[in-house]
Amino acid sequence: MSEPCLTVIVAAFNEQQTIEACVRRVFAVYPDDCELLVVDGGSDGTRDVVSRLSDDFPLLRYIHNDNDRGKGHAIRTGIEAAQSNVMAQIDADLQFLPEELPQLIEPIRADQADVTLGSRFLSDSVRRKGSTPWFRSLGNKTASGYASILFGHRMTDVQAGMKAWTRQAAQVINLKSDNYSYEVEIPVKALRAGLRVIDVPITTDARQGGKTNVNVVYDGIPLLRDITLFRLGWK
């Protein structure tokens, strides 16, 4: 079998309700040449669902994330297992649309970017009802604005769970964060290395199942700290 053109990484934690729809929608967009890695650190029936679906989708792989330490750890596990030279992440809860993966990948394919960030806050972005509570929007914009100032590059949504990057970029970034700080570690370390980072407008929907593990205050304060440490080169 030839090397897939794209690896999509789904970091799952008790996403039994939505993982089947997520898998089917990704393969509806890329039916023949996309590797889909479900990196699971939960304890529900996600594994059973993915195992059943693997009979229909040969490029679907389940990875049990032993000693799961957070979403950043899951993404790093996916990067290590990926076989393609282009990788993307998308959340299992379907807040972000698998149908929009091509527009995230296109700037990389066109050699216009090394890292692309899906953004909920560009003029062409679409936020459907119930998708982004105001306090989450405020937290995202605060973190994005702070990172933009420190790194001298406008980023409108560093925390969106829909990004893409090249294998070379992943090697340069050398992701370290286990927690949600990995979301901003990807673009800011890319910028620090002189790589090209661009925002891409995306659509955001309400969660289709499960519940969020993000706490604006509990996760936001370490995020702002880590942005500072990334800028100083201390992390």
Residues forming beta bridges with residue 73, ordered by sequence position: none
Query: What per-residue confidence (pLDDT) applies to 135?
Result: 61
Task: Say what the pTM is.
Answer: 0.91
Cα distance between residue 199 and residue 227, in whole Å: 18
pLDDT in tens, the chain (235 residues): 567 899 999 999 999 999 999 999 999 999 999 999 999 999 999 999 999 999 999 999 999 998 888 999 999 999 999 999 999 999 999 999 999 999 999 999 999 999 999 999 999 999 888 766 656 678 788 999 999 999 999 999 998 999 999 999 999 999 999 988 999 999 999 999 999 999 999 999 887 665 555 555 556 688 889 999 999 998 8
User: Residue for token digits 């673009």?
Assistant: 187
CA-based nearest residue to 27, from 47, 45, 43, 50 = 50
| Structural contact between residues 75 and 7, judged by C-beta atoms closer than 8 angstroms | no
> Among the residues of 2-157, which ranges form H helices?
19-29, 46-53, 71-81, 101-109, 134-151
Token pair, residue 75, equals: 């993404």
Is the Cα dihedral 174, 188, 67, 166 positive or negative?
A: negative
Residue 12: its H or E element: strand 6-12
Query: What per-residue confidence (pLDDT) applies to 127?
Result: 86
User: Residue for token digits 């205050």?
Assistant: 217
For residue 211, the SS3 value is coil
Count of H-run helices and E-run strands, the chain: 8, 9
CA-based nearest residue to 224, from 114, 133, 118, 147 = 147
User: Residue for token digits 């995202």?
Assistant: 140
